[in-house]
Structure 1
């Protein structure tokens, strides 16, 4: 009885431990963003309250916090767009307040104007909501002692502080880009590992699993791209990160080719799932094991670019064998097509390691003769 109850008791503890780990990971991962938010909102409050004499600078505080946020995408353009949208909402509200006073229909007009104007100005659907929230707050709160447009000034200060902190107190977005890259590479390596297992065991059920994993990689690709774009945008304006622009550009080039590579990996996985395996295929398994080793080194080369020549060497050794007449002599046509589908994948991996595509193509054996 006790042995049957133990797993039931262990499962909730396991879920609780996983939830705690996830909470800790979220908090530590956002530590830099939280610090930036605290410093930025304190500066915005100090400028508007102590320098400008505004007793309750609510707009400065809310615009600063909302513009920066906790998202990975902290690129200056996004921060600026958010600040402008909320400032427009506040200014529209103050114009309506000054012209028509406070009341229920004025409140409705304020929200309507904020939504219509910011929606017309921006294709981002979330911005009008932020603008309308700010406009509604201004419409509902009493007019401050400094006059209606005091809150517009506060909003401008909050936006300026948020943008300045993006440049001079950056979150080191390279760390986020590296984290997203390693998540992508872990998934890529996992798919290659599944393919190796399929070919070593001749297990078609595992081939379906590999295809299923390959189909889930697109969000990882997009997450890596978003974090890289954000890092590059911040590096363009931040004096502290400008020296890393070359490193980020190299990683953006790697991402472009890895995006192509993972698409080709899906093609390979799809062909493998339909391949009529009649037993283990050790030659093909060894080929994919070598690919996996090269991809492991390629992921490490994000931090250690000196590894890329070794990556290229390993991939070239794979590329020169990609001839179905050598790897699959006398095998069914489907297996020859499978071998041919690996060639574009290897080309993209070579390009991701820094080899020009023309040079990479020359490493492949000629199959036209």
Structure 2
């Protein structure tokens, strides 16, 4: 009897396996028949390491041309400034940088998807000319929750990121009827460039659980994270459904990373869904190294997608050699002082600054291309040249 039960369980398991295999094959055939690639799985650790081993050491900046105040102004047709983009990416390449983290926006796709594709293609050509492969950010929970298309407001004097906007904004985030539009944006953009080797990677959502308490906190969507969490998971799925050849990620930025159990639910999702691990750290060198060691437990390649805030104790001379030591990609906030005004510190939202701060918070170059600190530029050149 025991043998008979075992045999029946084995037969049942075999039938179930065959049915699942047939279903999977059927779904793949349907995708192929519709001209769509089959959804890929999250990369294994081995796949991620193989990809990372082909990249060289990744060093770059979060990039916004000095003539743009935010993502919309960077990529809308009327303000798409290719001359400035070309000039400033040239400065980056000149100090050994080979990547840039660049923010996109769902409203750009809604406004004119065809034109948006064309401008992204132009941007990628310019970047490729300088041997720079960007990491594109699809969504962002930071700063102004009320984005609007068209001409963008002028910078508020002396205020850090006074015109940066969230994607999706307050209205879209709270309105589930807009989610199909966001799905089209993710699938459209990632699908359009899914096989494009000019692109390094896709960052699905920047600081998804940031509620901007020091700036827009009073007007943020109540329980914002409750809306973001399921949408973040869906966004990973949408991006993966178009079978991108590039890795997907979303970076941890705050919290207790001691173990997987100490992570918040949204952080667990970010780790679980990311092909490569990314993170932010705006603290001193010791804390930077500590965070790297905490994230080594996931045994995946790492990219720090935001660091270097001089006023907060985060410097190139502290963090960059550590990133090189551990072969962690290093992308600092800000390249050229411009309309984003990130040379001013975060506290400029509370404190008045009437002149350029003696200690720049972010950024490397002045508008004319001269370095804020020559020693920093020399260090970046030295470290990138020797890796």
Q: TM-score, normalised by structure 2?
A: 0.21
Greater gyration radius: 1
More helix by share: 1
More relative contact order, 1 or 2 (CA 8 Å, 6+ apart): 2
Q: TM-score, normalised by structure 1?
A: 0.22
More strand by share: 2
